[in-house]
Amino acid sequence: MEWPQVVVAAAVTMGVLMFDLAMLFQRGSTVHSSPFVFKLSIPRIIAMSHGHTRARSEGQRAHAGGAGPAGVGLEEKDENRCITCPWGRFPIMIQRTPVYSSLKKILGGPITLLAGEILGAITHVATPDPVAALTFDDGPNPKFTPCLLDILEKHKARATFFMLGENAQRYPQLVQRVARAGHAIGNHSWNHPEFPSITGRERRAQIRRCAKAIAPHGQRLFRPPYGYQNIASCIDLLWLGYQVIYWNTVANDWCTDDAEWMAARLVNQVQPGSIVLLHDNICSASKHPYFDRGPLLKAVDMFLERLQGSFHFITIPELLRTGRPHQSLILQDH
């Protein structure tokens, strides 16, 4: 390989890595991190490294003999992949180059690991102790949260409540009661929007407004509404000093009213260090078919009864002190 080719290959690789990063910001988000120089140069880089001939022949192959300008068939073939691409469909061709694939293979692992360490959400804790954390989202709810507090008290279990600011502001006495009982309180946004679908400014406003509503009891723990996140929302949380808490155990309590089934599922799934996702309220209005938390409360009662003496239920901050938190970069926008 001669030096001009090396320069072109390096430029292509850098360009594509930048493109990948930009796409991570772009996907489902209104945060725009468009690298303007890259936008201008990418078609030229492709032309230099690949040659128009290859692009044309691939385009024609995909187009299956149809008429039309070069590349049209390729565009049609990769239409789904290209929907989020804001400046044309050229990068698809670049991703097929051997240099890019090899570099992505070599750098992909360490970059993902590093990103997980910096921006990752905690899914569980590696600990030998028989401890786990129950988390309850979307509350507080004046009907269900007090009953849940009684059940937790009966079993001497502590939990973490990821509250919506809107509800916390409406029921401040409930927030106080939760805190007085020794449970932890975290931030679940003001009113549960999909974070990748709103602007960075709106996201930060959601977090700050909720923090104000749960103050002074709230901790810098955040549970993303619907579990949806993109890179930009992860950076917002990091910027505001929050730890994102996911889960590794669910009872699917938003899509069933079978208390026995939920309790059995929890008993089967819970492990030392588990973080369990549950809801003491359903945010999406009382029209939701499983809005009634009665079956869930019954399931929690049965579950705690069955594990009495063999498991200890503690808050998220307490759980994080028992072992090594397991972090993963979880990007999900629908």
Minimum CB–partner distance for residue 122 and Zn ion (Å)? 17
Which pairs count as long-range contacts for 29-36, CB under 8 Å and 24+ apart, including other chains? 29/196, 29/197, 29/230, 29/232, 29/233, 29/333, 30/197, 30/198, 30/199, 30/200, 31/199, 31/200, 31/230, 31/232, 34/86, 34/87
Minimum CB–partner distance for residue 226 and Zn ion (Å)? 6
Minimum CB–partner distance for residue 261 and Zn ion (Å)? 21
Half-sphere CA count of 270, side-chain side, radius 13 A: 27
- Please, which residue, 31 or 164, has the CB nearer to Zn ion? 164
- Please, which residue, 75 or 137, has the CB nearer to Zn ion? 137
Is residue 32 part of the annotated active site? The answer reads no
For strands 324-328 and 218-222, give the pairing: unpaired
- Using DSSP, state whether 89 is helix, strand or coil: coil
Minimum CB–partner distance for residue 283 and Zn ion (Å)? 5
- Using DSSP, state whether 96 is helix, strand or coil: coil
Query: Which listed residue (124, 253, 279, 280) is catalytic?
Result: 279
Minimum CB–partner distance for residue 243 and Zn ion (Å)? 17
Query: Which listed residue (137, 138, 236, 253) is catalytic?
Result: 137
- Please, which residue, 86 or 289, has the CB nearer to Zn ion? 289
Q: Which residues bind Zn ion (CB under 5 A)?
A: 137-138
Nearest residue to Zn ion, by Cβ distance, number only: 137
State both tokens at 60: 């024609």
Is residue 137 part of the annotated active site? The answer reads yes
- Please, which residue, 194 or 318, has the CB nearer to Zn ion? 194
- Please, which residue, 138 or 253, has the CB nearer to Zn ion? 138
Identify the DSSP state of 242.
Answer: P
Query: Distance (Å, rounded) from C-alpha 205 to C-alpha 165?
Result: 11
State both tokens at 245: 């808490």
The catalytic site residues sit at: 137, 279
